[in-house]
Amino acid sequence: MGRMVMIGAGMGAMAAAARLAVAGHRVTVYERSATYGGAVERFERDGFVFDTGPGLLHLPAVYRDLFVKTGKESLERSVELVQVDPASRHLFADGTDVRLPNASRAGAVAALDAALGTGSGERWAEFLGRARDAWDRSRRPLLEEPLWRDPRVLGRDPYPAVPRRRLLRSPQRAGTVAEIGAWELGDARLAALLDGCALSYGLDPRHAPASAAVLPYLEQTFGSWYVRGGMRELARAVYERCLARRVEFVFGAEVTRIVEKDGAAAGVELADGTLVEADAVVAGVAPGRLVAAHPGGSGTGGDSGGRGDTGAAGAAGEAAVAERDDGSVPGRFTVLLALRGGRDGDAAHRTVVHSPDGGAEAAAVFGGHPAERPTVTVLRPDDPATRPDGGHEAVTLTATVAPHGPVDWSDAALRARYAEVLMSAAEAAVPGLPERLLWHETRTPADTAARTGAEGGSVPPPALAGAEGRLLHPANTTRLPGLHRAGGWAHPGGGLAHAGMSGALVAGLIVEGPEFRGSQ
């Protein structure tokens, strides 16, 4: 079997590594940092433990499949998965407070009717029904198959929008998330519920295609899950599965270029000049981390088979992973709070404090400015492993923000001021927060850029159908034979579940070749 080199130890790359090792390949992972997991990191201080990346897992079946396919020990025997209930609490500017149960359509209908008025729940349920149709129409080509070369396959929006009748004019249909909220949901708070979900994934509700409806559908259908001890435990479990399958990890080893031989990827060169031969290379890093060493090299481009990229330029000679290096993609501003006093008994694990003006927030985030009153997600895990004792609590606040560059997130005064903005909003979810605060730490897009190499500290959104294919990610294969992509910046996009899917697709393409058509 072949020698496989993985660039980066993120979740997508590790998912591919474990599967390739089981198939008999010799796999080595080169990671420039001192640890594994990519964005799935943790911060510890004074007995407090925080996730600084994803806080919840959706579609755990992706990782269940990984563990089934790579060993005898199941995911549940490797980590403790806890279903979060309620799935989320939502606080709106008018004082409305609603708790949505986990994976219960009927429960959500009842909760929305009680909080927003009779009929609200049914309108939301009807919307989720249309979102389910969009999911059924796009699921396989969007998530389970290698990306087709022709973007028209996924360029049409699969969401079956309701016709909106207009006097003496032809009916209109919602084409964006914001239009669904305005034309179909019939309540500003339901619209904010949908807009806030899209924004949390780094999508602009004003322009994101209606197919983004699949995101709340997935959360409310398949549930929200927490890993006891923090989401970093999931990364640890995947790393240990790789070790059990004899995957080798080399930390503190930065890959600077792809080595080409006879028109194919033949290995990598490390920062210290070491050349590593390989039969295939998998890049699981952010765009821009590798630069072309060959004059005129401009990217890895698309597939040479029937499925491939969505139109990026091809490379001659040594290749760079450079497509979709889009500094306009938002990042995250995170505040880690160490609080005195125990967690409230009725506290929700996740509370979303909605902005009083979602349109202004989106205009700021996607216009390159800090939003004055952002939507803030408050995570309060009921987990003794995250705090020194029962008399303290670890709380994480997160807002989607403009990337570093348009906003100078390295400015200490701005960081401090914006942390105060998030903490002020979070008081609605954490009563007495100022008096309970022991200390806080901030993480900004500038920190993300320094840590991952992603331009502007951007966080990749999941791929979406519609919008003429503009929200698809580069294919897992490239025009340079032997070079593949995995992770959030490759098909099918960002998020823990999507990264795991990318690893499965890459492994299938390497093991089975161009005829691979995804899981059955």
What confidence tens digit (pLDDT) does each residue in 363-399 have? 999 999 999 999 999 999 999 999 999 999 999 999 9
Is residue 318 predicted with pLDDT exceeding 60? no
Mean pLDDT of the chain: 91
Q: CA 285 to CA 292: how far, in whole Å?
A: 15
Predicted pLDDT at 293: 32
Helix (H), strand (E) counts: the chain: 15, 21
Is residue 210 predicted with pLDDT exceeding 80? yes
Kindly report the pTM of this predicted structure: 0.92
Q: CA 203 to CA 176: how far, in whole Å?
A: 11
Within the chain, all domains assigned CATH 3.30.70 are found at 327-455
Which of 134-148, 312-326, 379-393 is predicted with the least confidence, judged by mean pLDDT?
Answer: 312-326
Pick the CATH number of 3-40+231-326+463-512 from 3.50.50.60, 2.40.50.660, 3.20.130.10, 2.40.30.260: 3.50.50.60
Written as six digits, the tokens of 84 are 């979060």
Q: What is the mean pLDDT of residues 246-271?
A: 96
Predicted pLDDT at 453: 86
Within the chain, all domains assigned CATH 3.50.50.60 are found at 3-40+231-326+463-512
Predicted pLDDT at 515: 85
Predicted pLDDT at 310: 31
Q: What is the mean pLDDT of residues 296-312?
A: 36
Is residue 352 predicted with pLDDT exceeding 50? yes
Written as six digits, the tokens of 456 are 């502007």
Cβ neighbours, 10 Å, residue 154: 24
**Interacting residues of 434 by C-beta distance below 8 A, sequence separation 6+:** 423, 427
Greatest CA separation for the chain: 71
Q: CA 158 to CA 160: how far, in whole Å?
A: 6
Predicted pLDDT at 459: 96
Place of tokens 């790789």: 242
CA-wise closest residue to 7 among 276, 241, 273 = 276
**pLDDT category of residue 317 using cuts at 50, 70 and 90:** very low
**pLDDT category of residue 314 using cuts at 50, 70 and 90:** very low
Is residue 32 predicted with pLDDT exceeding 90? yes
Predicted pLDDT at 519: 67
Cβ neighbours, 10 Å, residue 356: 15
Strand partners, 99: 89
Predicted pLDDT at 28: 98
**424 residue type, one letter:** S
Predicted pLDDT at 475: 93
Question: Cis bond leading into 86, ω under 30°?
Answer: yes
Pick the CATH number of 327-455 from 3.40.630, 3.40.720, 3.30.450, 3.30.70: 3.30.70
Is residue 308 predicted with pLDDT exceeding 60? no
